[in-house]
Amino acid sequence: ILGDKHGNVIHLGERECSLQRKHQKIVEEAPSASVSAALRDEMGALAVKFAQKIGYFSAGTIEYIMDEDGSYYFMEMNTRIQVEHPVTEMITGVDLVEWQIKVALGEILTLSQTDVKIQGWAIECRVNTEDPQNRFSPQTGFIDTIHFPQDPTIRIETGVVSGSVVTPYFDSMIAKIIVHGSSREDAIARTLNALNHFSLIGLKTTVPFCKAVLQHPDFVNATYTTRWVDQVYTPEMLENDDDELIGALAATIMYASEYLQLQGDIPAYENDALNVWVLNKRLNY
C-alpha cells in the first residue's frame, strides 16, 4: 500500500511469497496465481481501510495467509519497504521508494486507485550465499568472479562485485534477480534463462535451488505452499548428469598434481583456494 499524510491510501495488488526456507522468503512473484481479480479488489480494499483507520502514511505491506479453501486471514503489517518490492514496481510501473520519500516530505499522493494497472508478471529470486544441498548452510569467503544476466526485462539489485568478501556478520543475500514477462509462463521462462546466465565462482548460492523450483510442477501449476521446502524439496533435485564426470575430472587433476609433486622437486600448486566442494555432489576420494 501507499498512503500520504493527507488521508489518501491506495493498494498496488498482491505478492505471492509462499516459497520459503527457514521461514524466510526466497522466491517471490506478483501477482499471485491464487488470487482472482475480484479477490484482489476485496483484499486490497481491506488493506486500504486498515491503513486509513490507523492513519498510516508511507509505503507498507499488509500480510495475509490463505487456507487451501481460499479463506484468508490477517497476519501482520510491515511498515517499511520490503525486499521483494521490485516485483510490485515491475508490474505496476510505480516507484515505491520514490513515493515513500515524497510522502515523508509531506507531498500529496497524486496516484488514485484507478491509476494502478497490473501489467504482466514478475518473479524475484534471492541470491543467497548458502548451500541448498546442506540445509542452506551459510557460505562465507571471497567471490572470485560474479556475472549477472543483462536484458531490458531483467532488474538486478546487488551490493557485491568480483573480489567482494562475504562475511558472517550480515544476511546471506548478496543480490536479487527480478524478471518481468507478459504472462506467468513467460516470466518463468525468462527467469530460468536469466538464472542460466548468472555465474559466481568462489561460493555456493541458492541459484541452483531457484532453478529447480521454477521447473517443478508445483511451482509451474502454482500449487506450492509455505511447507514446500520442508515437505517436497530434496537436495537430490539439484544433481545433474554431469556431476559424476566433473567430479572425477577434478579428483584426477588434483591427484595428478599431488603425485607429480611427490615424485619430483615441483613446488605446490599456488592456488590453495582450489576447492572440489564447489561441485554439486560431494566427493570422497
- Same domain (yes/no): 223, 272: no
pLDDT in tens, 260-279: 877 765 555 444 444 444 44
Task: Say which range, 43-57, 149-163, 201-215, 234-248, has the weakest mean pLDDT.
Answer: 234-248
- The predicted pLDDT at position 46 comes to 97
Considering the domain boundaries, does residue 270 fall inside one? yes
Q: How many domains does the chain divide into? A: 3
pLDDT in tens, 196-255: 999 999 999 999 999 999 999 999 999 999 999 999 999 999 987 676 677 778 888 888
Active site residue 135: no
- Same domain (yes/no): 101, 202: no
Task: Give pTM, 2 decimals.
Answer: 0.86
- Same domain (yes/no): 26, 107: yes
- Same domain (yes/no): 114, 131: no
- The predicted pLDDT at position 285 comes to 38
Considering the domain boundaries, does residue 15 fall inside one? yes
Instruction: For residue 269, give its domain range.
Output: 243-278
- The predicted pLDDT at position 255 comes to 84
- The predicted pLDDT at position 284 comes to 41
Neighbouring residues of 33: CB distance < 8 A, sequence distance ≥ 6: 16, 184, 222
- Same domain (yes/no): 172, 143: yes
Q: What is the largest CA-CA distance in the chain?
A: 81
- Same domain (yes/no): 250, 265: yes
Considering the domain boundaries, does residue 86 fall inside one? yes
Q: What is the mean pLDDT of residues 153-179?
A: 97
Q: Which residue, of 89, 104, 119, is where some domain finishes?
A: 119
Which carries the bigger pLDDT value, residue 285 or residue 96?
A: 96
**C-alpha span between 37 and 119 (Å, rounded):** 13
Considering the domain boundaries, does residue 236 fall inside one? no
**C-alpha span between 237 and 232 (Å, rounded):** 10
pLDDT in tens, 58-82: 999 999 999 989 999 999 999 999 9
**C-alpha span between 268 and 130 (Å, rounded):** 30
Considering the domain boundaries, does residue 195 fall inside one? yes
Considering the domain boundaries, does residue 211 fall inside one? yes
- Same domain (yes/no): 113, 197: no
Per annotation, catalytic residue among 40, 80, 126, 190: 80
- Same domain (yes/no): 5, 53: yes
Neighbouring residues of 283: CB distance < 8 A, sequence distance ≥ 6: 247, 250, 251, 276
Q: Which residue, of 119, 153, 184, is where some domain finishes?
A: 119
- The predicted pLDDT at position 267 comes to 56
Residue 14 backbone zone (phi > 0: left; psi -120 to 50: alpha; other: beta): beta
- Given a cut of 50, whether residue 54 has pLDDT beyond it is yes
> What is the percentage of the chain residues whose pLDDT exceeds 90?
82
Q: Select from 61, 58, 59 the least CA-distant residue to 78.
A: 61
Instruction: State the DSSP H helix or E strand holding residue 73, giving kind and residue range, or none if neither.
Output: strand 72-78
Q: For cell 490507523, what's the residue?
A: 54
Based on C-alpha coordinates, what's the Rg of the chain? Answer: 23
- Same domain (yes/no): 50, 143: no
Considering the domain boundaries, does residue 234 fall inside one? no
Residue 131 pairs with which residues in a beta bridge? 137
- Same domain (yes/no): 92, 167: no
Say which CATH number the domain at 220 has.
3.30.470.20
- Same domain (yes/no): 130, 216: yes
Q: Which residue, of 87, 104, 119, is where some domain finishes?
A: 119
Considering the domain boundaries, does residue 238 fall inside one? no
Task: Say which range, 33-37, 80-84, 102-106, 279-283, has the weakest mean pLDDT.
Answer: 279-283
- Same domain (yes/no): 8, 96: yes
- The predicted pLDDT at position 128 comes to 98
**C-alpha span between 46 and 234 (Å, rounded):** 38
Residue ranges with strand state E in 82-240: 121-128, 130-131, 137-138, 141-142, 145-147, 154-158, 165-166, 173-181, 199-201
